[in-house]
Amino acid sequence: AAAAAAAAAERPAARGKMSIISSTKGMIFLETGHPIIQETLEAKLQNKRGEPFDITCSDFDDVRYRIVAHTDTPTTIHFQLAMPYLGDLSAYGASSVIDRIYGQYKDKPDQGYDAGFRIEISNPKESIETVARNFGELKRNVMAAPFERCFSALASGSTGSMKPMVIPFRPLERIVLVPSNDRVLVYFTIAFNEEADRAIARVFLQEFSESQRKVPQAPSVSFTHDCPADLARVSEFDNRGGKSLVGYVQFQVFKSHVEGAKKEKISTLLSGFRSYLHYHIKASKAHLHSRMRHRVDLLLKVLRRADPNSKDESNKKAFRTYAN
């Protein structure tokens, strides 16, 4: 399964409306778009008369959205984004991405939010499908901006003068991009508060790095418990994992990995790697709990069958008395 994930960078991008998609090898990848946002905008934009509504939804990495149409202006949709680390991403190219894709919709954000947009139902300026898809992929587009900047420079051979990028995308975790002349090193610090999550993550990441060897054309992956030397030399990096720290994941991305259409795909996969890991850890725990409950049910059935005083009619055949 981990080999399928590592090989995904070699396959062309695929986007849809589902929240998850499955690869041909059975591995589940999270879709880039937020299904609630896409479905809401498509439905509201198709209703030209407009109607008041107020929807708040969340995403991975402490991201929160609010989509609202007020009673006095039901044909105007206000879209709010709360992203605590948006300011850090803006310094690494996110502001340019927002101006390029969402510039015509920019609006003043409400209190408690970091970015605001306004969509007129009577004049959405783009097709309904395009508007819904772009806003559904807002987090992906903003998160992928630093990766696309580094990988574009790598493809053009101009990474030598670039400085490391540190993204504090979670309170205890960091993404660090370290460009060099012939490659870009991408580091993830992984931390979980729960011991069970840390144990599953440790096993998953170790297998992830081992399985990558079966896919020679994919970016190399390594997982260590100790801070790598290249990461330790980054002055802007502050390690806050503490007791919750699982370890460090390193991806080595070369020019061959970002040529042509591969750049968008690998930017999407790496920017969503932490969410991908989070999803599979929770799915693994759910599967283990399901197996445990099933095993307990079987054991209870055995105990009930072993009770000669049971009132269950199906057990009477197992306890017959014979007169001498």
Which tens digit of pLDDT belongs to each residue from 113-147? 999 999 999 888 899 999 999 999 999 999 999 99
Residue 303 has phi, psi (to 5 degrees) of: -65, -40
Cβ 251 vs Cβ 186: under 8 Å: yes
C-alpha to C-alpha distance for 310 and 312, rounded to whole angstroms = 5
Q: Identify the pLDDT of residue 316.
A: 54
Cβ 57 vs Cβ 139: under 8 Å: no
Does residue 14 have a pLDDT over 80? no
C-alpha to C-alpha distance for 169 and 62, rounded to whole angstroms = 8
- How many angstroms separate the Cα of 319 from the Cα of each of 256, 270, 289, 298, 299? 72, 62, 34, 20, 19
Cβ 148 vs Cβ 267: under 8 Å: yes
C-alpha to C-alpha distance for 213 and 211, rounded to whole angstroms = 5
pTM: 0.82
Does residue 50 have a pLDDT over 90? no
**Residue 28 CB: number of other CB atoms within 10 A?**
15
C-alpha to C-alpha distance for 284 and 281, rounded to whole angstroms = 5
DSSP assignment, residue 308? T
Cβ 271 vs Cβ 143: under 8 Å: yes
Cβ 74 vs Cβ 48: under 8 Å: no
Mean pLDDT of 268-278: 93
C-alpha to C-alpha distance for 68 and 113, rounded to whole angstroms = 13
Q: Identify the pLDDT of residue 97.
A: 96
Q: Identify the pLDDT of residue 210.
A: 80
Cβ 146 vs Cβ 177: under 8 Å: yes
Cβ 85 vs Cβ 110: under 8 Å: no
- How many angstroms separate the Cα of 273 from the Cα of each of 21, 249, 256, 291, 310? 15, 10, 20, 27, 53
DSSP assignment, residue 218? S
- Give per-residue burial for 106-134: e unless 16+ CB within 10 Å, then b: eeebeeebbbbbebebeebeeeeeebbbb
Question: What residue spans of the chain are helical by DSSP H?
Answer: 2-7, 35-46, 86-89, 95-102, 128-136, 138-143, 145-156, 195-211, 229-232, 262-271, 273-305
**205 or 8: which leads in pLDDT:** 205
**320 or 84: which leads in pLDDT:** 84
* Amino acid present at 101: I
The pLDDT mean for the chain works out to 87
